[in-house]
Amino acid sequence: MYKLLIVDDEDIIRQGIRCAIDWDRLDIKAFEASNGLVAYDMILKEKFDIVLLDIKMPGLSGLELIEKIKNSLIDPDVIFIILSGYADFSIANQAMKYGVKYYLLKPTDEEEIVSTIHKVIAEMKVKNTSHDKVALYFDAISIYVSNCEVEAVKKEMEALFLVLKECKAKEACRNYCEELFILIIRQCKDYQKTPKFLKRSSEIDINTSLDEMYKIIIEAIVEIVNINQKLNSQRYSKCIQLTLDYVYENVSNEELSLSYISNHLYMNSDYLGKLFKKEVKEHFNAYLSNFRVKKAQELIQNNPNSKICEIAQEVGFGCNSQYFSQVFKKCTEYTPKEYKAILMKNKLI
């Protein structure tokens, strides 16, 4: 039986949802929390599969609760369904950054909630059997899109859709396609184009075949790669290029930081940080963590006999293998050992 937590500071809405739906029929045990802080305490004590929550709540808003859970890795597999009276793209976009795919507008009815719950359950069922393999394809596709390698993306997409076609849970396959679309949209470096791609993702519905989904996603990939290539052709300023080169050449240095590099380049650290964010579209610390993890993924795949502690040292975590594993899992959803095991299981190393 799945566990679901309903979080809303309005008693009438929270209790109405709990009483209106036959949760036993859905194989779900439903719980209630009157606000975000209460929900956070409950999630600390119990594992929930689904959290249906309001956005605007006193103490701790819905988005703040999602951010807190995702960043702390308390329960990374929990699926959030947002229930909001605000048709605000900025809220949806912010939630998307934390992997939230389900967004219901108030007032909603029992049928819409149940329909969304069915989607979530189907997604969880497939995750239990093929999540690891699909996740690997997602990682590869994301990297190739980021690197503007269209042909490599197409090969990974073809392989992924062969896996999806073997899956009997069609609802879950569609959910995976929606998740992949969002992952690809996040690779677009022109953030003004994001609303257009989000609107296009709505073309994937209950009547969309896998072949049609493939076509929709491939078209978006080609367009996003073209956008990114144009932006990449606009070269970084000299000091930012020097910063990126320094990171690449000194990734194993555990003292590597913005202030460390700014001293090396004889620049003001605050100024370099602002310029880096402006040009690279990412804070330096986040960029460094992601770069180190991507480098570690390459090392694991290319050097399967290497120990995790050795890889941690090679990408700048020194002897702190535990912290390396935490950062790796935050970026990939897997520890380095789990990632290596999945690669071996699927004969990728």
- Spatial distance between the Cα atoms of 146 and 160, rounded to a whole number of angstroms: 18
pLDDT attached to residue 11:
92
64 and 93 in a single domain? The answer is yes
Average pLDDT over residues 141-152: 86
268 and 220 in a single domain? The answer is no
pLDDT attached to residue 275:
94
Please check whether residue 300 is in contact with residue 306, taking contact to mean a CB–CB distance below 8 angstroms. Answer: yes
**CA nearest 24: which of 42, 41, 1?**
1
CATH classification at residue 79: 3.40.50.2300
Is there a domain that residue 304 lies in? yes
Q: Two tokens at 88?
A: 């605000």
Is there a domain that residue 256 lies in? yes
List the strands of the sheet with 79-84, edge to edge: 28-33, 2-7, 50-54, 79-84, 102-105
247 and 227 in a single domain? The answer is no
Q: Quick one: pLDDT band at residue 140, thresholds 50, 70, 90?
A: confident
- Spatial distance between the Cα atoms of 287 and 293, rounded to a whole number of angstroms: 10
pLDDT attached to residue 131:
65
**Low-confidence winner among 230-244, 261-275, 301-315 (lowest mean pLDDT):** 230-244
263 and 180 in a single domain? The answer is no
Is there a domain that residue 116 lies in? no
- Spatial distance between the Cα atoms of 278 and 257, rounded to a whole number of angstroms: 18
9 and 93 in a single domain? The answer is yes
pLDDT attached to residue 297:
87
Domain boundary among 56, 81, 108: 108
Q: Quick one: pLDDT band at residue 189, thresholds 50, 70, 90?
A: confident
pLDDT attached to residue 124:
78
Is there a domain that residue 45 lies in? yes
pLDDT attached to residue 59:
87
Is there a domain that residue 120 lies in? no
Instruction: List the domain range (segments joined by +) for residue 192.
Output: 125-233
253 and 200 in a single domain? The answer is no
Average pLDDT over residues 220-245: 84
